[in-house]
Structure 1
Amino acid sequence: MEKLPPGFLSLGSGSGSAEFSFPDLLGTQRTPPRLPDEIVEEILLCIPPDDHEHLLCVALVCKHWARLLASRGFRRRYRQRHRTPLLLGFLGNLIDTGGYARFIPTHAFRPVRPDRHDYRAHDARHGRVLLNRIARCGDVFQGVEAALIVWDPITDEQWPLPPLLRDQPVRNWTAAVLCATAGLGTCDHLGCRPGDFHVVFVGIDDKEMFASVYSSDSATWSEATSANLPYDYLHEAVLPALAGNALYFVFRMGMAMLKYDLDTRVMSVMHVPMSWYPRRVVPMAMDDGGLGLAEVDMESNLILWSMEVSADGNVEQWVVSRHIELRTLLPAHALAFCVVAVADAVGVIFVYTVDGVYTFDLNSGQVTKVLSYGFYDIIPFVSFYTPVLRAALDR
């Protein structure tokens, strides 16, 4: 090996960690002691979550650093340090794929399988995506409720759910995926992936509205709870919101929501603010953990509502928390029609316009075009990501 000139830094390779070679006073090469893992971790923790390129370079230095980045302990500390995850991308159920889900990145992360053939994305939360198989002519399974899977785009793991058996045909349904401890106050959702998860399935058959919960821990569906609620069908294209200890689903007419209490498993109906124009409201979790709504009015304004509760906890009322004139932010030709989806954890709202889909960042005010026409639904994917090459781990 050619002798290095004085002062030249050398990154070691192979199975060991990175090494830096310095000349001593006699001109011979001496290798300093390896940095303790605690110091290396403290340095790596300073890399911001949106700087995937530098994290990737660290993983390529040596096998030891790649394993350090891949460890559950480091990933947990990394999330605790930075707190706020990233909008890594979103899944679009695209028309040109026949409704199949496609992962569209907004950062450097790319899943192993960006196209999920035969599956439609239905919901995403806490680093997991709920997919349902698209029923085609000749399929042998009965109903989409018998073909649900939960998918982790980062690890590419997936968990098929057993069929939810019912005596009556399911006429209308929607579902949500969430961490198993959501609503219990025992998880900050910074490191719950790849822990246990729940899937809440709400459906309407010829007799009643019902709900059942799948637990990955027991790999079974719970006994269904039912309610006689005389409202329209549930809006499958509007993502549910998790606020406090409850999930909120919107009815198709946009005049009411279904509240599902995760603790008591009781279903109830709550009204949304009245409107004289046809509208699409999307539920969202507010910064304080309360319930909110997002909609676009007839004048292309983004309206954010929040639910205020009286001191005694009995009186609830909707109030406008923000009023944003999208006409001054979007291109002149991009008239806004409706809110498509909300990425709660990062404060990003997806708005459908005559020019395609734009995102509006509630924190920075930045507007970005992310998709043109040709989609059915959009499901944001929010999570932390520390890239580790499998090749680096196998060296």
Structure 2
Amino acid sequence: MTSPVALVPPLDNEDLLSLILVHLPPLASSFSSPALVCKRWHRLVRDPGFLRRLRAFHRTPPVLGFFHNSPDSPRFVATQGMSGIRIATAVRDLRRDSAGGMWWFVDCRHGRALLRSRDWVDLLVWDPITGHRVLITVPDQVRVGASDCNAAVLCPSGATGCGGACRSSPFSVVVVFTRGHRAFACVYSSLIRAWGELVSMPTPSQECELTEEPGAFVGDEMYWLLGESSILEFRLSDQKLALVERPLEIFSVYRRNIRVLRSEGSVLGLAAVKNFSLHLWAREADLCGTTKWVLHRAIELCTLLELPLTQPHVGSIPVWISGLGEDGNVVFLRTIVGMFVLWPETMQFKMVTNNVLMKTVYPYAKFYFPEGNSNYPHYFC
């Protein structure tokens, strides 16, 4: 009589198990079931070492959703995972302790959100996961007389992340604005809790409007759209302003339906829409070192998103770029039927809301893993 076949034990090699689990999508929902298998699996998926390995493997944090400014209060719309419930509740509790009492989103980057008061007197740096807040007063020399303002919150380590200590890691806030024929910039550092010197440069004309849409962080530079044919560049290393030209004959066809982004290879890029076509451009250097704009992709959205063929009202735009992920890996598109999120790399998409009134959204990306059934999350950038 042969002995019964011994049952194959579960994976005992934690390195092998870790290698398998690290391929799961970097969302909290991906690890809720493995954490319930046994105590060993639960300990593994909550271990900081595994989370660092997961982050190193996936590199780019998932976009959990987006913030948008509404007439009554800012709001959050989740795109994936259960973390959206927590964030949506937290944003509703944001209040400003002064007249007006309302915050407006300006930027989301490196796991933090940047908000402003209506009059730009105050800025608020906020971590939506931990709730940590830093209130910053804007100097009079920055806001008084400014025609157009924009700002960005940055982690010094940039796209490489901050190693997990998001709450305590230093950050910088860059404020840019125009006044007359000049563009200005000023940087706040959380390390010294102070503003630096105000720097400026001339603009091509007084009509160069600094757009309100979020900029792009590429290498050591921040970029914002300026007017119809220029991009404003701010270099953090030496805090210098410069202009990047956009060939007017190419980009004028997009009008305002265009955004700056960090393209593949960490170069400056543009995402633009003409009618129902999404165009992805990159600013590349040839063998002689001469930079030029190159069209990388053209995505026909009408068939992909199954949009109705009926023409929109006269003067309206059928598809509008409302927001971009930090790496340009996610595009939010407002259409005549609702807001879609599109992943250009995989061509996956889904509708996230039927609200057709949102012009600008602020995508929020972060690795986020709740601790079992606890209400307190385990997080890292």
2:106 is aligned with 1:122: yes
Instruction: Tell me if the contact between 1:254 and 1:280 (Cα under 8 Å) persists in the aligned partners.
Output: no
Q: Is the 8 Å Cα contact of residues 131 and 150 (structure 1) preserved in structure 2? A: yes
Q: In structure 2, how many angstroms separate the alpha carbons of the residues matched to 1:330 and 1:132?
A: 34
Aligned: 1:239 with 2:214: yes
- TM-score calculated relative to the size of structure 2: 0.78
Match of 1:326? Answer: 301
Question: Counterpart in 1 of 2:65?
Answer: 89
The answer on 1:132 being equivalent to 2:120 is no
Q: How does 1:31-46 map to 2 (within 5 A)?
A: 42=18, 45-46=21-22
Work out the CA distance in 2 between the residues paired with 1:163 and 1:67: 45
Fraction of identical pairs, as percent: 29
1:165 aligns with 2:140: yes
Are 1:355 and 2:337 an aligned pair? yes
The aligned residue for residue 24 of structure 1 is none
Give the C-alpha shift of residue 132 in structure 1: 1.1
Question: Paired residue for 1:13?
Answer: none
Q: Which amino acid aligns with 1:353?
A: T
Amino acid at match of 1:384: F
1:375 matched residue in structure 2: 358
Q: How does 1:212-361 map to 2 (within 5 A)?
A: 212-231=186-205, 232-236=208-212, 238-251=213-226, 253-274=227-248, 275-277=251-253, 278-297=255-274, 299-313=275-289, 315-333=290-308, 336-345=318-327, 347-361=329-343
Structure 1: state its 5+ residue gaps.
Answer: 1-34, 136-142
Partner of 1:23: none
**8 Å CA contact 1:84, 1:346 repeated in 2:** no
Name the CA distance, whole Å, in 2 between partners of 1:330 and 1:392.
36
How big is each residue's C-alpha offset from its partner over 1:236-290, in whole Å with a ceiling of 9 and x where there is no partner?
1x21011122111002x43211011121211111122334533421011112101
Q: Could you tell me whether the CA contact under 8 Å between 1:286 and 1:344 is conserved in 2?
A: no
Q: Kindly state the Cα deviation for residue 363 of structure 1 after the two structures are TM-superposed.
A: 1.3
Cα distance between partner residues in 2 of 1:162 and 1:61: 49
- The 3 A distance-change label for structure 1 pair 293 and 43 is closer
Gap runs ≥5 in structure 2: 1-11, 96-101, 313-317, 377-381
Asked if the contact 1:101–1:121 (Cα under 8 Å) also holds between the matched residues in 2, the reply is yes
Superposed CA offset, 1:100-148 (max 9, x none):
3211111221325032451111111111111112x3xxxxxxx31x211
**Other-structure match for 2:4:** none
Distance in 2 separating the partners of 1:125 and 1:94: 20
RCO higher in structure (CA 8 A, sep ≥6): 1
> Which residue of 72, 78, 91 maps to 1:105?
78
Counterpart secondary structure, 2:140: coil
d(CA) in 2 for partners of 1:346 and 1:228?
Answer: 30
Change (3 A) 1:71 1:147: farther
C-alpha separation in 2, matches of 1:174 and 1:50: 31
Could you say if the C-alpha distance between residues 105 and 207 of structure 1 is closer, same or farther in structure 2, counting changes exceeding 3 Å? same
Please give the per-residue CA displacement for 1:277-318, whole angstroms capped at 9, x wherever unaligned.
334210111121011101111x411111111213343x2111
Give the secondary structure class of the aligned counterpart of 2:158. coil
Note closer, same or farther for the CA distance 1:192–1:267 as it changes in structure 2 (3 Å cut).
farther
| 2:166 aligned to which of 178, 187, 193 | 193
Residue type of the partner of 1:93? N
Q: How far, CA to CA, are the matches of 2:61 and 2:39 in structure 1?
A: 26
CA 51–221 in structure 1, closer or farther in 2 if over 3 Å, else same: closer
Q: How does 1:2-13 map to 2 (within 5 A)?
A: none
1:15 matched residue in structure 2: none
What are the within-5 Å matches in structure 2 for residues 12-31 of structure 1? none
Rate the CA distance shift 1:317–1:221 in 2: closer, same or farther, 3 A: same
CA–CA distance in 1 between the matches of 2:25 and 2:232?
Answer: 35
Counterpart of 2:369?
Answer: 386
Q: Is 2:136 aligned against 1:153?
A: no
Deviations 1:341-372 (A, max 9, x none): 21143611112221222122111112211231
Letter in 2 for 1:197: F
CA distance in 1, matches of 2:331, 2:356: 17
Q: Choose 1 or 2 for highest CA Rg.
A: 1
Across the two proteins, how many residue pairs are aligned to each other? 341
Alpha-carbon contact 2:27-2:368 (below 8 Å) kept: no
Which residue of the partner structure matches residue 31 of structure 1? Answer: none
Name the TM-score, length of structure 1 as normaliser.
0.76
Change (3 A) 1:52 1:332: same
Partner Cα separation in structure 2 for residue 346 and residue 206 of structure 1: 32
The whole-number CA distance in structure 1 between the counterparts of 2:52 and 2:299 is 36
In structure 2, give the amino acid aligned to 1:200: V
CA-atom RMSD in angstroms: 3.2
CA separation in 1, counterparts of 2:163 and 2:358? Answer: 30
- Measure how far apart 1:387 and its partner are: 1.2
Residue identity matched to 1:162: T
| Paired residue type of 1:263 | S
Helix, strand or coil: the match of 1:375? Answer: coil
What letter matches 2:281 in structure 1?
W
